[in-house]
Chains A and B, each alone.
Chain A
Amino acid sequence: MTHEKDDVLVIAGEIFNSRLLIGTGKFRSSVLMAEAIEASGSGLATMALRRVDLNSPDDSMMNHLDPKKYKLLPNTSGARDADEAVRLAKMARAAGGFTWIKLEVTPEPNYMLPDPVETLKAARQLVKLGFTVLPYMNADPILAKHLEEAGCATVMPLAAPIGSNRGLRTKDQIAIIIEQANVPVVVDAGLGMPSHAAESMEMGADAVLVNTAVAIADDPVEMARAFAMGVKAGRMAYLAGAGGESRLARASSPLTGFLNSGDSNTK
């Protein structure tokens, strides 16, 4: 059985000690954003390419994100189709050397729901171009399989519309995605409270991504810490076999072990 202490998140061969991914938008200042990320213990922080100026050494956001402390994951937020997302990714690689991309294609500006057709199209192109692709997607199990087959490093289904803080509204669909996935499943968007993060992890999600809930809290640093604890608690519960279900192999079969004891006729 896996124990919490040596339980790590592996994405595309890279090891992360925290299962909390954190976003850098919506904070009231860059200083506070950096403090909150630090407090979250996250090793992977997303940032919107439309917000940063990769060519400027004075960019306020970039200056507050220490690439030695956490891996920066640029996202294509604002892209309306595959072409725009691919162009942004290429710019990120050319100007900043980024090869990991959080793919977001959201043509509708209000709920910012991901476009499944364009996301898959962009994912295929980006993988071909050598990017490590982490796609934001609706909680659609079939789309998750397509994205996996396209070569994506994770799938990132939404819990609820981005920024809504509404919690795990797509729980049943995410359960199927988790059941069928061969790549890490990161629950992304809509998680409003640490209990939502814990619930996702209890289900067997590999990680969660949080931004708004931390950024707009009265005390983002404390909220980041609370989310870190929620993620940890949920993961521990999952590893402990919560809910009567576990996808982990068990060392013994206490109920049917007698069948293999030699005394029993199993033929």
Chain B
Amino acid sequence: MNSFFSHIRDSDFDALKRSIESATKDRVRRAIRQTQSGDDDVLAVFSPAAGEFLEDMAVRAAAVTERRFGKTIQLYAPLYLSNECSNACVYCGFSCDSEMPRISLTLDQALADADKLYMEGFRHILLLTGESPNRYGVEQIREVAKALNGKFSSISIEVFPMKARDYKTLESAGVDALTLYQETYDPRLYKKLHPKGPKSNYEMRLAAIEEGGQAGFRSLGVGALLGLRDWRCEAVMLARHARYLSRRFWKSRVAVSFPRLNPALAGFEAPHPVSDAHLVQMITGMRLLLPDADLVLSTREPAALRDNIIGLGVTRMSAGSRTNPGGYVTELDSGQQFAVADQRPPAQVAAMIESRGFEPVWKDFDPVFLQGSRS
């Protein structure tokens, strides 16, 4: 079976940029109207020409989202287990070149953090680590997942890339969803941003989400870190990647995240900052192309933007997040991956969602689904 990498190998990013920029207004109008999109539509919705049709895109995206997902927003919380990392991603707080003190939570510490999230109402939890499998690996993640399974309705992971066999181990422990960002789809830029460590291998990282698909995760999450490169090319590649995954792993739902580097908070100057208007174009465009995908917006984004974007395509949001291991209870001041912009407590975010005419959904899965695959 060929992988999505074969699509990348053929991609000339400069030519891609020219194709996106050449989309006409008529082509954009057609892309907004369509009910079954092709690759021309992918180029059109992210084009400069589509910028003039933001309101039309938003109206259509809202209607498509509402039909498919109803008036609901699913809530989840991240739980960072370790900030040990042997990569040196130039934009990341966990980079091994940073002086940050390293910490990996003990099982008890992880459960203490999880308890806090449970008390706040969360039933969907996302486990995160850096990439240092020798210090914090599959076995440690498995222990945490096993301990949380049953208490939490859904356990997702956003950790280092693995092979299908290791993913299957975690799936058997109760993990049902995988998220893995490629960061940038441009291989040349990728090389510059990820100079060392296992992550410097572009192809291996890209292949991992497919390993997860083979392991049977019910949700496969992809994303590009916005601000590293011209966002239009990333959006096109992301949409193509998502479409590829949903065709190949037809039993898994695809999720797309929109992590935007915030220049003021990241400690790293984003070379290509993405404006609010462009973020909205990307989210609504993605909804038109992927009517059934989960679209995810985290607390990286400021409260005002998150409030206003509800209804335009986003279906899943985090709330009250801490991006440092132990940040909820036991290690309040450990080093964080990135600064959180929306610092409101979960109850306040839930109340905001209600005030916008949506129901905050805390539980939308059941561990009973997975019991058969448990070993």
Contacts and interface: CB of A to CB of B under 8 A. Distances in A.
Interface string A110-126: 11000000000000000
Contact of A110 (B292, B357, B366, B368): B292
A109 B368 contact: no
Interface residues of A, number: 30
A51 B124 CA distance: 12
A84 B354 contact: no
B365 A26 contact: no
Interface in B348-375: 354, 357-359, 361, 363-366, 368-369, 371-372
A164 interface: yes
A250 B355 CA distance: 56
Interface residues of B, number: 30
A84 B369 contact: yes
A87 interface: yes
A26 B250 contact: no
Nearest to B66: A216
A83 interface: yes
Contact of A79 (B252, B357, B364, B369): B369
Contact of A164 (B67, B123, B357, B363): B67
Contacts of B69: 26
A35 interface: no
B363 A50 contact: yes
Contacts of A84: 368-369, 372
Given A28-B358, A108-B250, A88 B363 contact: no
B71 A78 contact: no
A181 interface: no
A196 interface: no
Contacts of A91: 366, 368
A215 B71 contact: yes
A35 to B, nearest CB: 14
Contacts of A109: 218, 251-253, 292
Interface in A147-178: 163-165
Given A25-B70, A215-B70, A51 B361 contact: yes
Interface of A: 25-30, 49-53, 78-80, 83-84, 87-88, 91, 107-111, 163-165, 212, 215-216
Interface of B: 66-72, 123, 153, 218, 246, 250-253, 291-292, 354, 357-359, 361, 363-366, 368-369, 371-372
17 contacts: A26-B69, A26-B70, A27-B71, A28-B71, A28-B357, A50-B363, A50-B366, A51-B363, A51-B364, A52-B363, A80-B218, A80-B251, A87-B371, A108-B251, A109-B218, A110-B246, A110-B292
